[in-house]
Structure 1
Amino acid sequence: MNKKIGMRISPKIGAEGMESVARFAASIGLDVIDVPVYNQEVKDVLENAGLEVGSIDGVGAVGSTKLLSADTKSREEAVNALKSQMTEISELGGKVMFMCLVPEDITMPRKKAFEIWKETFPTIVKHAEQENIYIALEGWPGPAPYYPTLGCTPEMLRAMFNEIPSKHFGINYDPSHLVRLGIDHLRVLSEFGDRINYCHGKDTEILYDEQYECGNITATFGVNYDFSEGSWRYTIPGQGDVDWAKVAVRLEKVGYQGPISIELEDHRYWGSLEKEQQGIIKAKEHLAIYFK
C-alpha cells in the first residue's frame, strides 16, 4: 500500500502563511494539504511546492451551519453559497468538500435536524454530482452536552445514506471520534467502506482512571488535558487506541484511493510552532509504517 499522507493546517503552522505551510509540508515528505479556502493563489502555492490539495472546507458547512437552520430563508442562502463554492473549486480541480453538520441551534434534537437535512441536501448532492465534487462528512459529535452533529453514528449514517444513495455524499473517516464514542472503528469500515470519501489520521486514548471518575459523560470540574472531555483525549496516530495496521488493511480492501490526512489535536503537541511541527512529523512517521 502506498497512500499519500497529508495534513490539515494547525493554528501556529497556519499563522506562518500558506507558502511557509507548503514548504514545511514538502520538507517532511507530505503529499497533500487540506485547506479552509481554495482559490488560484492557494493552488499555485501548493503546486509550486509539489503538493496537492486534499479536502476543502465547505463555506458555512463546518461547525454550526445555517444549512440546518429552522429558518427557510437562511437555509436557502446557505445552500446557494455552498453550490457556488462547489462550482468554483471544481473549476480549479478540487474534488473533496469537507463538512461538519452541526445545526445552527445546537439544542435542536438530531431527529428534527435530520428532517431539515432531508429537505436541504438532495439539491446540494445533485449539484455535487454535476460538478464532480465528493462531500466528506466529519464525525465530530459536536459540543457537549447536546452532541447534535448529523453523521457521527452508524445509526444516523445509515439513515442518511438510505435517503441519498449517491457516493458523492459520503464520510470523512476519522477513527478518533468513533473510539471516544465507543463505536467499533473497524466495523464502520466494513459497513460504510464504499462511502469513505476522505480519511483523517487522528487517534484517541481512552483514559481509564478518568473514566472511573466521570464515566462517559463530560467531567464536571474540568479536564486534565486539552482536546478531552474527561474520559478520553485526542492524540496523534500511534499514541491512542486505534489499530492503524488493521485500518490500513481494511481501507485497502474497500478500495479507498484517497490520502490519509493528519489532523493535529493533541495536548502534547500544542501551544507553539515547534510543538505543532513535532506532532505532525511524529504522526507522519507512524502513518508511514502502514500506508507507505
Structure 2
Amino acid sequence: MTKKIGMRIPPKIGADGIESVAKWASSNGIDIIDVPYYNEEVKSVLEANGLEVGSIDGVGAVGQTKLLSKDEAARAEAVEALKNQMTEISRLGGKVMFMCLVPEDITISRKDAFEIWKETFPSIVEHAEKEGVYIALEGWPGPAPYYPTLGSTPEMLRAMFDVIPSKHFGINYDPSHLVRLGIDYLRVMSDFADRINYCHGKDTEILYDEQYECGNIAATFGVNYDFSEGPWRYTIPGQGDVNWSKVAVRLEKIGYEGPISIELEDHRYWGSLEKEQQGIIKAKEHLEIYFK
C-alpha cells in the first residue's frame, strides 16, 4: 500500500513562511502539507513545488472555540465564519478540514458541551456536504485536569455519530492520543472505519517509571519531558508504543486512501530548526517502511 507522507508545519520550519516550508518539504520527500489556512497564494506555492494540500485548520475550530460557547450570538458568528471558510477552500480544491473541539469554557462538563455541539453542528455538516468538504476531528483530549475536547474517546464519538451520521463528519486518526488514554488504537480503526477522514503520524511512549509515580493522571510537580503530562510522552513514529506495521495493514483493509501526515511533537526533536528537520526526516523514514 503506497501512501503519501505529509506534515503539519512545526514552528521553526514554518518561521520563514510557506515558500520556505514548501521548498524544504519537497526536497526532502514530503508529498503533502497541512496548513493553518488556505488561499490562492498557498495553493500556488504548494503546486509550484510539486506538493498537495492536506488538512486545513478550521477557522475558530482548533482549540478553545466559540462554536461551543454558551453565548448563542458568539456561536452563530463562529458558525458563519466556518461556513464561509469551507466555501472558499472548496473553491480552491481543499477537501479536509481539521478541527479540535475544545469548549470556550474548558470547565464545563463534556456532557454539557455535547448539548451545545448538538445545536451547532448539524448545519455546519450540511454545509460541508454541500461543499464537498470532510471534517476530521482531532482526538487530543485537551488540557488537564478537565480533558474537555469533544471526540477523543469512542464513547463520545459514538454519541456524535448517532446525531450526525454523515461521513463528512469524521475523525483525524491519531494513535498517539489513543495510546496515552489507554484506548485500543487498532480497534478504533475497525469500529470507526468509515469515519476516518485523515491520519496523523505521531506516536506515544508510555513512561513506566513516571507512571508508577503518578498513575495515569497528570504529574503534580512537573514533568521530565516536553509534550508530556508525566506518565507518557509524545514521540515521532517508531520511538513510541504504536505498531505502525499493524496500523498500515488495518488502514489498507478499511480502504483509507488519504495521506499519513507527520505531527511533530517530540522532546528530542524540538527547540531548533535543525532538530525539527531531523525529527520530520526520521519520522518520514520510519513511516515509509510501512506505507511506501
Show the 5 A alignment for 1:120-269. 120-269=120-269
Q: Does 1:91 align with 2:91?
A: yes
Provide the rounded CA distance (Å) in 1 between the counterparts of 2:199 and 2:258: 7
What is the Cα deviation at residue 137 of structure 1?
A: 0.1
- Cα deviations by residue, 1:95-135 (Å, 9 ceiling, x for unpaired): 00000000000001000000110110000000000000000
Q: Say which SS state the counterpart of residue 204 (structure 1) adopts.
A: strand
Provide the rounded CA distance (Å) in 2 between the counterparts of 1:267 and 1:222: 15
What is the Cα deviation at residue 28 of structure 1?
A: 1.0
Where does residue 290 of structure 1 map in the other structure? 290
Where does residue 64 of structure 1 map in the other structure? 64
Amino acid of the structure 2 residue aligned with 1:87: T
Where does residue 275 of structure 1 map in the other structure? 275
Provide the rounded CA distance (Å) in 2 between the counterparts of 1:24 and 1:252: 29
Provide the rounded CA distance (Å) in 2 between the counterparts of 1:81 and 1:48: 29
Q: Say which SS state the counterpart of residue 218 (structure 1) adopts.
A: coil
Provide the rounded CA distance (Å) in 1 between the counterparts of 2:175 and 2:145: 21
What is the Cα deviation at residue 51 of structure 1?
A: 0.1
- Cα deviations by residue, 1:60-117 (Å, 9 ceiling, x for unpaired): 0000000000000000000000000000000000000000000000001000000110
- Cα deviations by residue, 1:223-248 (Å, 9 ceiling, x for unpaired): 00000000000000000000100000
Structure 1 unaligned regions, length at least 5: none
Provide the rounded CA distance (Å) in 2 between the counterparts of 1:22 and 1:173: 24
Provide the rounded CA distance (Å) in 2 between the counterparts of 1:242 and 1:193: 18
Normalising to structure 2: TM-score of the pair?
1.00
What is the Cα deviation at residue 29 of structure 1?
A: 0.7
Provide the rounded CA distance (Å) in 1 between the counterparts of 2:192 and 2:243: 18
Q: Say which SS state the counterpart of residue 50 (structure 2) adopts.
A: coil
Where does residue 15 of structure 1 map in the other structure? 15
Amino acid of the structure 2 residue aligned with 1:44: S
Where does residue 24 of structure 1 map in the other structure? 24
Amino acid of the structure 2 residue aligned with 1:16: D
Where does residue 37 of structure 1 map in the other structure? 37
Provide the rounded CA distance (Å) in 2 between the counterparts of 1:117 and 1:107: 16
RMSD of Structure 2 on Structure 1 (CA): 0.4
Provide the rounded CA distance (Å) in 2 between the counterparts of 1:194 and 1:291: 20
Normalising to structure 1: TM-score of the pair?
1.00
Structure 2 unaligned regions, length at least 5: none
Amino acid of the structure 1 residue aligned with 2:23: R
Provide the rounded CA distance (Å) in 1 between the counterparts of 2:63 and 2:14: 19
* Runs of at least 4 residues off by over 3 Å: none
Provide the rounded CA distance (Å) in 1 between the counterparts of 2:77 and 2:254: 37
Q: Say which SS state the counterpart of residue 264 (structure 2) adopts.
A: coil
Where does residue 55 of structure 1 map in the other structure? 55
Aligned residue pairs total 292
Q: Say which SS state the counterpart of residue 89 (structure 1) adopts.
A: helix
What is the Cα deviation at residue 165 of structure 1?
A: 0.5
What is the Cα deviation at residue 17 of structure 1?
A: 1.3
Provide the rounded CA distance (Å) in 1 between the counterparts of 2:122 and 2:116: 11
Q: Which moved more, 1:282-291 or 1:14-23?
A: 14-23
Q: Say which SS state the counterpart of residue 225 (structure 2) adopts.
A: coil
Percentage of identical aligned residues = 84
What is the Cα deviation at residue 290 of structure 1?
A: 0.3
Q: Say which SS state the counterpart of residue 136 (structure 1) adopts.
A: strand
